[in-house]
Amino acid sequence: MQSDKPLERPDNPNFGSGPCSKRPGWTVEALAGVAHGRSHRSKLGKSKLAEVIDRSRATLGIPDDYRIGIVPGSDTGAVEMVLWSVLGARPVDVCAWEAFGSEWAKDVVGQLKLDNARIFEADYGELPDLSQVDFSHDVVFPWNGTTSGVRIPNGDWIDSNRTGLTICDATSAVYAMEIPWEKLDVVTYSWQKVLGGEAAHGMLILSPRAVERLESYEPSWPLPKVFRLTKNGALIEGIFQGSTINTPSLLCAEDAIDALKWTEAQGNAAGLKKRSEANLRAIATWVNERPWVEFLARDPAIRSCTSICLCVCDPAVGALSKESQNAFCKGIAGLLDEEGVAYDIASYRAAPPGLRLWGGATVETSELERLFPWLDWAFQIMKSRLQA
Ligand SMILES: Cc1ncc(COP(=O)(O)O)c(C=O)c1O
C-alpha cells in the first residue's frame, strides 16, 4: 500500500464525469475551421450542423429511417422536449435508480402531473426489476445511471413488438455501450460525455414510431417554442437536417466534428466502446487488489464502464457517520485536486459517499494506471488523519 507520494503523475488530470476529458491530443487548434461570425442558417453554418448529424449516424450505425436532430439545452433539453411532446397518450412507466432517472420521474409526476404513471425505483448501486415494465405503456429510463455507476446490461428485456414508446436518456452510454437502436424509439445524449465535446446542445434521435406519435398526438398542455418538434401536425424535418430550432453554437458544433473525426480514427463507436471497457477492466483489477475500496454496483453485469462509482469499504471509515464518510471521500478527492493529479472525482452530491472516475473513451487507460497509486496515497493520508 502506497504511503509515499507517487513519483509519476497522470499527464491529464481530467477524470470527471461531465464535462468529460477532451480526446487525447486535443488543443484549441481543433476549432480552427469554425464558421465564426456566420449565420447558422447560411449554407456554411447549416453544412456544419448537417456534418455533425451525418458523422453521428455513420459512427453510431443509426438506422437510416431514424431522425437525428441537434436541439437546445444539452441532454436535459432533448429529454424534456420529448417528455413534453409525446407523453400523455398512454400510461407511463419510469425506471429510476439514481439522480437523473429520478429527475425524469419528477417531470412525469410532479410537472406533467400524469396520474397514470408508475415509477420503478432502486437504490444507488442497483437496478429496479425491469421485468415489471409494461411495453404497452410509454417507458422512460436512462441507459446508464451516471450518478450511481449502474447501467442496463442489454436490451433483451425490451419488447420488440411494443405498442408504447421507449424513451432512453443515453447520455453517458452512447459511444461507450452497445445501443440496441431498434428497441429504442427516442435516444438522447450530449457531446460533453463520451465524445469529450462541449455541452449546450443535445442530440435527439427518433425512430419512425416516435415520429408517428409526434405527428398524431397533441398534448393538452402548451409547448414553448424550444420544445416544438412539429408544425401543423407534421414533423419539422429541417430540425433533423441542421436547421436548428434556435441559434446553436457553431464553436461547439466544430468541436463535435473534431470529436467525431477522432471517433472515426478509433474505429467508430465500437472502437470507443473498447477503450471504455478497457478502462473499466483496469479499474476492476486495481479495486480487486485493494481492501479499502469497492464498486458501488456489486453486480459486475450492471457496472458502468463510463461513470465508475466506488465506495470506501475500510472498516474504520465504515464506522463513521454518513456525513463523516462523505468528508473522508471528499478529502481524498480534495488532496488529489490540490496535487493536480485528478479533478472532479468526488461522488455526485446526492449519491452515497464515494469516488467517481470517468472511464469514457477519451480517458487513456495508462492515465488511470498512473492515478491508482495516488488514490492509495490519498486514502492513506486521510486514514492517518482519522487515527491522529
Ligand atoms: C444520465 C444523465 N442524464 C442527464 C444528464 C444531464 O445532462 P446535461 O447536463 O448534458 O443536460 C446527465 C448529466 O450528467 C446524465 O448523466
pLDDT tens string, the chain, 388 residues long: the values are 557 899 999 999 999 999 999 999 999 999 999 999 999 999 999 999 999 999 999 999 999 999 999 999 999 999 999 999 999 999 999 999 999 999 999 999 999 999 999 999 999 999 999 999 999 999 999 999 999 999 999 999 999 999 999 999 999 999 999 999 999 999 999 999 999 999 999 999 999 999 999 999 999 999 999 999 999 999 999 999 999 999 999 999 999 999 999 999 999 999 999 999 999 999 999 999 999 999 999 999 999 999 999 999 999 999 999 999 999 999 999 999 999 999 999 999 999 999 999 999 999 999 999 999 999 999 999 999 998 8
For every residue of 213-249, DSSP letters joined together read HHHH---SS---GGG--EETTEE-GGGGGT--SS---
Residues 240 and 56 sit within 8 Å (Cβ to Cβ): no
Distance 81 CA to ligand 1 centre (A): 14
Is the CB of 171 within 6 Å of ligand 1?
A: yes
Closest Cα to atom 16 of ligand 1: 146
CA distance 326 to 322: 6
Atom of ligand 1 nearest to the CA of 143: 1
What is the reported pLDDT for 387? 83
Distance 71 CA to ligand 1 centre (A): 14
What is the reported pLDDT for 120? 98
User: Which of 20, 79, 98, 190 gets mutated to test ligand 1 (max ligand atoms within 8 A of its CB)?
Assistant: 190
Q: Which three cell numbers stand for residue 307?
A: 461513470
> What residue ranges in 182-340 does DSSP mark as E strands?
186-190, 201-206, 230-231, 234-235, 293-295, 307-312
Is the CB of 97 within 6 Å of ligand 1?
A: no
Beta bridge partners of 343: 14
pTM of the predicted model as reported, rounded to 2 decimal places: 0.98
Q: Which stretch of DSSP H or E encloses residue 54?
A: helix 43-60
Distance 190 CA to ligand 1 centre (A): 8
Distance 75 CA to ligand 1 centre (A): 6
Residues 274 and 348 sit within 8 Å (Cβ to Cβ): no
What is the reported pLDDT for 388? 81
Encoded amino acid at 158, one letter: I
Identify the CA nearest to 81 among candidates 212, 295, 190, 228. Answer: 228
Distance 349 CA to ligand 1 centre (A): 14
H helices, E strands: number in the chain: 9, 14
Identify the CA nearest to 209 among candidates 157, 141, 155, 163. Answer: 163
